Structure 1
Amino acid sequence: MDTVPDGVEVVASLDRARQLDSPPLLVLDAVTGFLDRHGIGSGPLAWQRIGDGQSNVTYLIERGRECVVLRRGPRPPLPRSTHDMVREARVQKALGEHGVPVPEIVAVCEDESLLGVPFYLMSRLDGTVITDTIPSHLSSAEQRRATSEAVVDALVALHGIDVTRGELASLGRPEGYLRRQVDRFSGLWEVSATRSLPAVERIRDWLGRNLPASQAASVVHGDYRMGNLMFVPEAPARVLAILDWEMATLGDPLADLGYLTATWSEAGSPPTPLELTRVTRSPGYLTQRRLAERYQSRTGLDLTPLPWYQTLALWKAAIFCEAIYTRWQRGERPDDTSFGPSLGTGVPRLLERAGRYADLNHAREGDRYQHHRRR
């Protein structure tokens, strides 16, 4: 671990931070003071950046015998109503009370004078996040299948929670969720895009004309994928925690399934910027179709309109990635030397894939989903 370095990402003091043109992500004396006020550890702290997130930033913080995880948003300026760490912490607290596997929230800081944005601390969990490599204890064909099944089963359990009462009932309005998603991301495109990509409007219009009727209301994670799951550090495969709740709300559960399946890597599919867990291309993992079948068998929901939700997922991802690309172009992501630049071609690839799910690349707009609806 690094200790008290001085640089662009992490600096030792608030005085040093004020001298920089671009604000740092971690100010060690500010964090140390916050830990003091909450009785967390003693003495100097050590830090390590963790996770593969391209938006919010997560650090492992060690101080004496104490170890916590700090999560914060990216450098300001931030798009309106995004990266709300205070709300994310509240969501996790509420979900934990309903038995959802989430890290314990240790402390929340709403004072933006410390790091420039709010942040929170959560407990450190001893587990495995699967991204580029397959853990040895989950590498057998049996455990690869079990891992895939655990991903689906954790989502089924999340979607089975009663959201009509208690704290969870205040997280959002399930009614009209799909329409709001289309409208919200249309607005995000208008304020963040710096180039013309006609596919954005073409897919938006198709989504708007073919809104499915929601069959249920549930907690929607909003970024449900294997890279946001932590597994126990031994076989058999079991989800220890679901991470990254920034986009959670109440809405249509098939939005999560559409995102999970549309972004799930499998052999033979072309890569996109959302290929964040490449290992599922390997033999033994369930395919997108098998994931959907397992979900359907456990929920009883009709998956006929699933292509609509998959289209929505990749269209939203393209717009969100375009916002990141714009921030990178403006110099607001100075540490980003790979992901941001890749989105110049990556965003059009996402839109092309979204068009495939809607069948807009090969058939008259609306035909495919309208056909599914008539069957």
Structure 2
Amino acid sequence: MTTHINYSTSDEIVAAQDVVATEEQASALSMPPLIIEENLRSYLDTEGVGSGPMEIERIGAGQSNVTFRVRREGADVVLRRGPRPPLPKSTHDMVREARVQTALAGAGFPVPNLRCVETDTAVLGVPFYVMDYLDGDVVTSVLPERFQPSEHRHHLVKSAVETLGQLHSLDVRQPPISELGRPDGYLRRQVKRFSELWPQNTTRDLPIVEELGTWLEKNRPQSQRHGVIHGDYRIGNLMFAKEDKPRVLAVLDWEMATLGDPLADLGYLAATYATCESGSTVMELTSVTRDHGFPTRDELIELYAENSSLDLSELHWYEVLALWKAAIFCEAIYTRWLKGERADDAQFSRHLESGVPDLLEAALQRTR
């Protein structure tokens, strides 16, 4: 027996279109489903991933790729796939994301164990991969009871920062890690690329985007060294072990990973880190760190500095870059929603009309 997904939406038609039993049912829908059960069951059988009926549950609330937990006899796994087509170019590359995790696992970095990768779109309509389910906690708006003591709150952030430092310490000169990207000129390419993406992704005029792009290029620092960068490193993308003292069990969501300037990760983590003093934005996705006992943003940065030789005096530039990029990325989501291409996302996208300008204003504040 298969358990379908229960969405936090009143649109039952959308929920019914997420998982269907057969190709015949899929062909009758107005939009492609996310999972066709008979196809997935056949695929998992072929790959030797469990047997028998499946129980399927959507997990997480990612605004980019989609993740499901799939349980059947002999297997408890997670399937990760891109959203419904049409997909923007150079995004949602599940094959590359799987390759990144395989390389990092070989270097001893904590990532989920991959079981199989499927490039044939005949199964689900898009490439996807399957990994072992990890029994841990992702911390966003609710703090697990065992992490409530003040010292554990501090250590949760410290563990996150130390894991980021571990990532940045990996040797990027040797394959397969050296094959994950071109680190030279990373910052220049980022500013150029996102400046070009804005007019492609928007239907409205926000002059502050160009203003910030000009500032970023004019004040662009020289990278001090190269490293593996996650691209979306935040507490909500970490899985913590079921232990009293917070320990990162695995880092999740490697869609944006590449080789480049490590401070881009730290700038993103700092810029999106929620504190009781900071104004809220749509990118502050782990709201619990606003509570008493969590480090401030400055203390978070100091935790990274304790084990790093990098000069952090220009970190504000990287924070501006992070918020500016996030605004452009979110604008693409908002535009797709306006066009009806994200019908299953009524909660997040509708807030981006004001959420994107708020991100841009937060970025502008950091230039002063």
Q: TM-score interval w.r.t. the shorter chain? A: over 0.9
Corresponding residue for residue 11 of structure 2: none
Q: Does 1:263 align with 2:263?
A: no
Is contact 1:263-1:274 (8 Å) kept? yes
* Within-5 A mapping of 1:38-187: 38-187=47-196
Is contact 2:4-2:57 (8 Å) kept? no
Structure 1 segments, 4+ long, off by >6 Å, are none
How far apart, in 2, do the equivalents of 1:323 and 1:63 lie? 37
Partner amino acid, structure 2, of 1:3: T
Q: Does 1:292 align with 2:305?
A: no
How far apart, in 1, do the equivalents of 2:282 and 2:22 lie? 35
How far apart, in 1, do the equivalents of 2:272 and 2:101 lie? 24
Tell me the CA shift for residue 268 of structure 1.
2.4
Q: Does 1:3 align with 2:12?
A: no
How far apart, in 1, do the equivalents of 2:141 and 2:303 lie? 24
How far apart, in 2, do the equivalents of 1:4 and 1:307 lie? 45
Is contact 1:318-1:347 (8 Å) kept? yes
Is contact 1:178-1:211 (8 Å) kept? yes
Tell me the CA shift for residue 65 of structure 1.
2.9
Corresponding residue for residue 38 of structure 2: 29
Closer/same/farther in 2, CA of residues 256 and 196 from structure 1, 3 Å limit: same
Partner amino acid, structure 1, of 2:136: G
Q: Does 1:234 align with 2:230?
A: no
Q: Does 1:321 align with 2:351?
A: no
Q: Does 1:249 align with 2:264?
A: no
Which secondary structure state, in structure 2, belongs to the residue aligned with residue 106 of structure 1? strand
Tell me the CA shift for residue 2 of structure 1.
5.5
Q: Does 1:349 align with 2:362?
A: no
Aligned length: 359
Corresponding residue for residue 16 of structure 1: 25
Q: Deviations over 1:251-276 (max 9, x none)?
A: 00000000000000000211111121
Corresponding residue for residue 368 of structure 1: none
Q: Deviations over 1:121-154 (max 9, x none)?
A: 0111111110111101111001000101001000
How far apart, in 1, do the equivalents of 2:323 and 2:254 lie? 19
What TM-score, normalized to structure 2?
A: 0.96
Closer/same/farther in 2, CA of residues 253 and 194 from structure 1, 3 Å limit: same
Partner amino acid, structure 2, of 1:288: R
Tell me the CA shift for residue 3 of structure 1.
2.1
Partner amino acid, structure 1, of 2:168: H
How far apart, in 2, do the equivalents of 1:358 and 1:153 lie? 27
Q: Deviations over 1:224-274 (max 9, x none)?
A: 000000011111111000000000000000000000000000002111111
How far apart, in 2, do the equivalents of 1:42 and 1:162 lie? 40
Q: Deviations over 1:67-90 (max 9, x none)?
A: 110000111111101010000000
How far apart, in 1, do the equivalents of 2:302 and 2:316 lie? 14
Closer/same/farther in 2, CA of residues 52 and 4 from structure 1, 3 Å limit: closer
Corresponding residue for residue 196 of structure 1: 205
Closer/same/farther in 2, CA of residues 150 and 19 from structure 1, 3 Å limit: same
Which secondary structure state, in structure 2, belongs to the residue aligned with residue 112 of structure 1? coil
Is contact 2:66-2:80 (8 Å) kept? yes
Among all aligned residue pairs of Structure 1 and Structure 2, give the percentage whose two residues are the same amino acid.
Answer: 54
Which secondary structure state, in structure 2, belongs to the residue aligned with residue 298 of structure 1? coil
Is contact 2:334-2:350 (8 Å) kept? yes
Tell me the CA shift for residue 4 of structure 1.
5.6
Tell me the CA shift for residue 292 of structure 1.
0.7
How far apart, in 1, do the equivalents of 2:247 and 2:42 lie? 37
Is contact 1:160-1:218 (8 Å) kept? yes
What TM-score, normalized to structure 1?
A: 0.94
Which secondary structure state, in structure 2, belongs to the residue aligned with residue 132 of structure 1? coil
Partner amino acid, structure 2, of 1:322: E
Q: Deviations over 1:187-222 (max 9, x none)?
A: 221211111111110000000111100011000000
Corresponding residue for residue 373 of structure 1: none
Q: Aligned-residue CA RMSD in angstroms?
A: 1.2
Partner amino acid, structure 2, of 1:47: I
How far apart, in 1, do the equivalents of 2:27 and 2:186 lie? 42
Tell me the CA shift for residue 52 of structure 1.
2.2
Corresponding residue for residue 334 of structure 1: 343
